[in-house]
Chains A and B, each alone.
Chain A
C-alpha cells in the first residue's frame, strides 16, 4: 500500500521542484528589474556593509568623551559634530547601524516565527483552535500603536533585549492574520484534499504544501514590518525605555539631542536622518517586493 504512494511522491517531487525553481528564477528576474526593489535592497546592503566594516574605519571610538569639544558643529575633524559629552556623532552613528538592523531583523524574525506558526495552525485546523488563536490576536491588536510594546517594556524593564521582545510580540498578530488567510485559501485547493486522501500527515501537508504557498505575502509583510519595528524600537529608546547610555542607539542619541535644540540642533538632526533613510529603505524594498509577488495590488 505504501509503495505506490512513495513512487507517486517521487514522481511529483521533481517536476514540482523544477516548477518552484523556475518561479524563483522569475521572481529574481523581476526583482532585478524593479526599481523600488533595487533601490531599497541596495540601500539595505549598504547599511549591512556599514555594519560589518564601518566600525573598522570610524575616526573615533563611539563612547570616548571629550568635554573640551562638546556640542561642536560639523567640521572637518568631526564630520557630523559632537554631542553633549564631546563624543563624535559620525562614529556613534556608524556603530549604531548594526544595533538598528539587529533590532529590526531579530524582532521581526521572532514575531514572524510565532505569528506564522499560529496563523498556519489557526487556518489549517480551524474551528475552536482558530477561534481561540484569532481572538487572542484581536486582544493584542486592541492596543494601538506602540502601546502594547510600551506595556510589555514597562513590565519587563527597559533594555534593548526587552525592546526586541516587546516589538516582536506586537508584530505577531499581523503575521498570524496574513498567514491564516493564505492558509485558508490554500487549504481549499483540491491537491491538498488529494494529499490528505493519500495519507499524508498534517505536518507534511503544512510544511511541504501550505508553508511554501504563504511565503510571498510573508516576505512582503516581514520587510514592511522591519521598517515599523525600527521606528517602534527607536521610539522606545527615545522614551528612555530601550537602549541604555552610553549605547550608541539612534533613538537614544536623538533623545540626548532634544535638550540642545537651541544651541546644537545637529545632535538631534543626524540620528533622525539616519533612522529615516534605513526605514525608507525597508519601505521601498517592501513596495518593490509587493509589486513582484502580488502584481494584482500594483497600482
Chain B
C-alpha cells in the first residue's frame, strides 16, 4: 500500500512540472510584447521597460522559468499588475470561497446522484427509472450559467404565488448575489451541483445494475436476505467503488465550472478573479489562479486514487 502511495506521488511530479511549464508559458505565448500588453497600448515606453524589467522578461527563458518555479515553491506568485498586490494575497480568501462552493456542490451532487441512481437501478425500467434518467439527461445538457440565471429569476427575483397558498406571497426566497449566508449559498450550489448530480446518478445506476447482476447478490437473495439489506449492505458498497473516482473528478471539474457560477452570482471567488484579470490583461494573477486551481485538482486526484486503492485492493497502478 505504502509502495503504491509513493509511486502514485512520484507519478504526479512530471505532471506538476508540465503544469508549471504550461502556466509559465502563458505570458510568453501571447501574440505581441507581453509587457506592452500588460502596461496598456498607450503606455509610455519607459513604463513598459520598467514593467519588463520588474517581471524579469529580459532574462533568457530558462532563467525566467527557474526563477518562476523557485518563487512559486516559496509561495511567491508575483504581483498583480492592476493592484500591485501580492498574487497570493489576491487569491487568499477567494480560494476558500471557491473551494467551499465546489465542496458544497459536490456534497449535493453526491447525495442526490447516489439516491437517484440507486432508485433508478432498483426500479429498473419503471416510470421512476425513466423519469430520473430523463431528468439526469437534462441536467447533463444544461449550461450551468443558464440554470443559475433561471434560478435567480424564479427564486431570487421571485414570482407571485396565488393567494390560496398560505403564508407565502412570492418565491423570492434567496439572494441573487454574494456568498456567505445560507440564502446566498443555496442557488449557486444547486447551479454548480446539478450537472455533477446527473453524472453521478447515471454512473451509480449503471454500476448498481452491474453489481446486482453478479452471483454473490443472487446468493444473498437465495439465502433469503431481505431485499433492502441486499441492496444497501451488499450491492451498494461495491457499486460505489467506481463512483468514488467520478466524485473526485467532479470536484475538480466543479473548481473549473465555478468560473461561470461565480460570474452569474457575483461571488468573489477565484473564478471571478481570473475572469476580471483576463479582461484587465493582469497575467500574473491569471497565471497564479490557474496554477493554484490545477495544483488543487492534481492533489484531489491523488487523494481519490489513494482512496480508490483502499476501497478496491485489486487495483494495479499499471
Contacts and interface: CB of A to CB of B under 8 A. Distances in A.
Interface of A: 135-136, 138-139, 142-147, 150-151, 153-157, 227, 231, 234-235, 238-241, 251, 254, 257-258, 261-262, 265, 268-269, 271-272, 275-276, 279-280, 283-284, 287, 297, 299
B260 A265 contact: no
B310 interface: no
B218 to A, nearest CB: 18
Size bin of chain B's contact surface: 35 or more
Given A144-B253, A297-B206, A258 B149 contact: yes
B153 A154 contact: no
Given A145-B259, A238-B145, 16 more contacts: A143-B297, A144-B254, A144-B257, A144-B294, A145-B255, A150-B256, A150-B259, A234-B143, A235-B143, A254-B146, A254-B149, A257-B149, A261-B149, A261-B153, A268-B146, A269-B153
Contacts of A265: 153
A142 B294 contact: yes
Contact of A280 (B22, B26, B141, B152): B141
A146 B91 CA distance: 19
Contacts, number: 137
A276 B143 contact: yes
Interface string B144-185: 011101101100010000000000000000000000000000
26 contacts: A142-B18, A143-B256, A146-B257, A146-B260, A147-B259, A147-B290, A150-B259, A151-B22, A153-B278, A234-B143, A235-B143, A238-B143, A239-B260, A251-B143, A257-B149, A261-B153, A262-B157, A268-B150, A271-B146, A275-B146, A276-B143, A276-B146, A283-B137, A283-B141, A287-B137, A299-B206
B297 A235 contact: no
B205 A299 contact: yes
Contact of A272 (B31, B146, B256, B259): B146
Interface string B267-308: 000000011001100000010001001100110000000000
A139 B278 contact: no
Given A139-B19, A254-B149, A272 B143 contact: yes
B5 interface: no
A254 B147 CA distance: 11
Contact of A138 (B15, B137, B157, B264): B15
Contacts of A135: 14-15, 18
Contacts of B209: 299
A275 B141 CA distance: 8
B253 A283 contact: no
B256 A146 contact: yes
Contact of A235 (B157, B254, B260): B260
B2 interface: no
A276 B141 contact: yes
B140 interface: yes
